[in-house]
Amino acid sequence: MKAILVLNACANDYRIQSQFLAGFLQQRTKGVEADTAVVFHTQEADRAELLSSVPAKEAILICLTKARTETMLNQLEKLGFEQTDRVYLFAGNCFGSELAVRMGQRCGGTFLTGVDTVQCTKEGITVTKSVYSGHMEAEFALKRAPYCLSVSRSSAEPVMQKGPTAEILEEWTAREDTENDFSEDYTLIPGNEEKNLETAPFLLAAGSGAKNKEGIEAMAQAAEKMGAEFGVSRPVAMSAWAPMSCLIGVSGAMIKPEICIAAGVSGAPAFYAGIEKSGFIVSVNSDPRAPIHRKSDIAIVDDWHTVLKHLSDQFPKSL
Amino acid sequence: MMKLLLPFSITPDLEALSEKDWVFTSDLKVDTSFTPLDWNSFDESALEMSLKLSNQAEGSFCFYRYALTVGEMPCDRFLKTLAALKFDELFRVNPGDADLRFRPEVIARIIASFAQTYAHPDFILMGRQKQVGDNACTPLLTAELLGWPCVTQVIEIEPADEHRLRVTSAVDGGTAVQTISAPCVLSVGDAPCTYLRVPTLKDKMTYGKKAITVMKLEDFPEAEVLLSSPNAELCSLTPIHREREGVLIEADTPEEKAEILYRDYLKGRLERL
């Protein structure tokens, strides 16, 4: 079955989206071939660079004056859905999941978010995705085309595009209509670029076992002393003990350091999905029944505060 | 007066299930009946954000809140908490035997029909995702069914004036701030410091006994008709196992354990980084 990829080059993670969808197609699909990519971009974008990253033979380039999902949806609608026997694959970020669902609904097709695999056979199309907060994998048979799917961010390894540069099938500049009239004074505040959890080789991940903001600060200091990047679980970020830019897990960073120390975390699947690709996982938790111990390579059942203090003392100052 | 519709879900505490509890029956259901129930964390944020709006408005504007949930009788305990927190009207739709775990289109149709025929809200505030189905679709579908815009990953709301809200949301690469006119669906994401407040004993006594209107799925024929023809049909469920070796470092003191960890397991690996 032919797949149409939908990419958002208005966001600064365009390359990651492209590489991730290329990896997903290679590693997590059967019977699916990327046909065309729809690329939303701004006027400032370098077209040659856009096309060189596209993991498909042809590209439709749509230039937006404002990167708004309501406008993107209207543009996708204008593409028409007469070729219904298609899979539309969207990146697993905010925009991808939103567009997949809303486009699927508008065209009377099937939509799912956070898909891990796609398999197309003569009998039909099936997909798998995690459910029950990551405790179970569900397989679904999809009944009605087109199939609009956003992919899980933890499902595949990114792949660099090595094939020929995509050819432009069509391109136009989208004129904004009345779709954004509900919104005034739209201001985009760029995120904190300093945090680079996803490329850190060594990371300390802190959980709600820290008990309070002071505990989290003590862990952050231990991380700094060890030369490790610092991240936290959702309950910690939701309690504002650490900024959201430190969040690890399905709604935050999906990390794959060589070494990850998980201290005071229980090991809930939504958090663990964010660290499961780590090369070596150490758990430190005083509860011997905490699931994180079974999901780690090395486990320490003890008070995280004392363990981290003495562990950081072991590190030479140059690290 | 600004009318707010707050659909919310109550969810079993899945982290309370042990490894051996993750088994399913022939109809592909996991028995979670013995686990404690809790607010869906995203919906909880939406409910609390709606209460903060009143605090921020400081009496300048009024808000009228409808709370709506789809679930069995145990959900009434949570609706009573909302009554004590001075939510104005409380509704529960009893799904009967219908399995709605992976049917966000049915839930969205119920919410949209309720909004169109009864509540006529200015804004719908709800969490982005349910824990069991992990569908992350309901707010988006509700917006599509109503033909309304939708702002996703909302993390902060303030009143702008009597008819508009100032909305902050997480977007790819940063944060967006905008003033939103009604009608609109606001899908709440990871919003810090939005745990639902606890009602006072006095408010529980004064407001907590407000009547809950219980409706049936049959009261929403457009939703009921969707039940027989799912677009995505559940075929199988498989427990996900993510075990690693889990070698336990044993020693008398935490200091010794830290030394063993560094010497035997980390030092060499750190040198190779």
How far is A181 from chain B, CA to nearest CA, in Å? Answer: 8
B chain contacts of residue A269, beta-carbon cutoff 8 Å: 240, 242
Whether chain A has a CB inside 8 Å of the CB on B20: the answer is no
Distances (CA, A) of B173 to A13, A90, A191, A210, B187: 8, 17, 6, 29, 18
Residue-level pLDDT at B16: 86
Using CA coordinates, name the residue in chain B closest to A136. Answer: B239
Residue-level pLDDT at B18: 84
Q: Are B129 and B135 in contact (CB under 8 A)?
A: yes
Distances (CA, A) of B202 to A248, B199, B208: 40, 8, 9
- Contact state of B237 with A237 under an 8 Å Cβ cutoff: no
Chain B interface, best mutation among A6, A94, A111, A132, by max B CB count within 10 A: A132
pLDDT band of A214, cuts 50, 70, 90: very high
ipTM here: 0.92
Domain ranges of chain B: 2-228, 243-273
Using CA coordinates, name the residue in chain A closest to B259. Answer: A311
Identify the helix (H) or strand (E) that includes residue A103.
helix A94-106
CB neighbours of A278 closer than 8 A, spacing ≥ 6?
A: A203, A255, A256, A257, A258, A259, A260
SS3 B238: strand
Secondary structure E strands in chain B: 2-8, 10-12, 37-39, 63-70, 89-94, 123-127, 150-159, 164-171, 174-181, 184-188, 212-216, 232-239, 247-248
CB neighbours of B59 closer than 8 A, spacing ≥ 6?
A: none
Residue-level pLDDT at A319: 47
Q: Are A234 and A249 in contact (CB under 8 A)?
A: yes
Q: Where are the alpha helices (DSSP H) in B85-157?
A: 104-114, 138-146
Nearest to A244 among B143, B144, B192 (CB): B192
For tokens 């219980």, the residue is: B214
Residue-level pLDDT at A318: 54
Q: Look up residue A9 and give its DSSP letter.
A: T
What's the CA gap between A188 and B175, in Å, rounded? 6
Whether chain A has a CB inside 8 Å of the CB on B175: the answer is yes
Nearest to A202 among B145, B247, B270 (CB): B270
What is the residue type of A218? Answer: A
How far is B115 from chain A, CA to nearest CA, in Å? Answer: 19
Residue whose C-alpha is closest to residue A93's, from B183, B105, B171, B138: B171
CB neighbours of A209 closer than 8 A, spacing ≥ 6?
A: A215, A263, A264, A265, A266, A285, A286, A287, A304
| CATH topology assigned to domain B2-228 | Rossmann fold (3.40.50)
pLDDT band of A194, cuts 50, 70, 90: low
Query: Can you state the angle between helices A94-106 and A69-79, rounded to 10 degrees?
Result: 40
What's the CA gap between A65 and A177, in Å, rounded? 11
What is the residue type of B236? Answer: S
Distances (CA, A) of A64 to A97, A102, B22: 19, 19, 47
Residue whose C-alpha is closest to residue A120's, from A97, A141, A103, A105: A141
What is the residue type of A113? Answer: T
Which B-chain residues 110-139 have CB contacts (< 8 A) with chain A?
131-137
Contacts across the A-B interface (CB distance below 8 Å): 263
Query: Tokens representing A106?
Result: 């508008």
- Contact state of A139 with B236 under an 8 Å Cβ cutoff: yes
Q: Does B217 or A177 have the greater pLDDT score?
A: B217
Whether chain A has a CB inside 8 Å of the CB on B23: the answer is no
How far is B209 from chain A, CA to nearest CA, in Å? Answer: 31
Using CA coordinates, name the residue in chain A closest to B239. Answer: A136
Distances (CA, A) of B117 to B2, B67, B141, B146, B236: 17, 15, 17, 12, 37
What is the residue type of A249? Answer: G
Whether chain A has a CB inside 8 Å of the CB on B144: the answer is yes
Query: From first to last of its 273 residues, what are the pLDDT tens digits of chain B?
Result: 999 999 999 999 988 888 888 888 888 999 988 999 999 999 999 999 999 998 888 878 899 999 999 999 999 999 999 999 999 999 999 999 999 999 999 999 999 999 999 999 999 999 998 878 888 899 999 999 999 999 999 999 999 998 999 999 998 778 999 999 999 999 999 999 999 999 999 999 999 999 999 999 999 999 999 999 999 999 999 999 889 999 999 999 999 999 999 999 999 999 998
For tokens 């804004």, the residue is: B123
Chain B interface, best mutation among A18, A310, A313, A319, by max B CB count within 10 A: A310
Which B-chain residues 29-68 have CB contacts (< 8 A) with chain A?
30, 41
DSSP β-ladder status, B89-94 and B63-70: parallel
Mind listing the pLDDT tens digit for each residue in A47-103?
898 999 999 999 999 999 888 889 999 999 888 765 578 999 999 888 899 999 999
- The domains of chain A, with CATH numbers, are 2-174 (3.40.50.620), 197-314 (3.40.50.1220)
- What does the pLDDT average to over A158-168? 85
Secondary structure E strands in chain A: 2-8, 29-30, 33-41, 58-64, 87-90, 110-121, 124-131, 136-142, 147-151, 167-174, 183-190, 202-206, 229-232, 259-263, 280-284, 298-300
Asked if residue A161 has pLDDT above 80, the reply is no
CB neighbours of B176 closer than 8 A, spacing ≥ 6?
A: A186, A187, A188, A189, B168, B169, B170
A chain contacts of residue B157, beta-carbon cutoff 8 Å: none
- Contact state of B181 with A137 under an 8 Å Cβ cutoff: no
B chain contacts of residue A137, beta-carbon cutoff 8 Å: 237-240
A66 C-beta neighbours (distance < 10 Å), count: 14
Q: Look up residue A199 and give its DSSP letter.
A: G
What's the CA gap between A240 and B45, in Å, rounded? 13
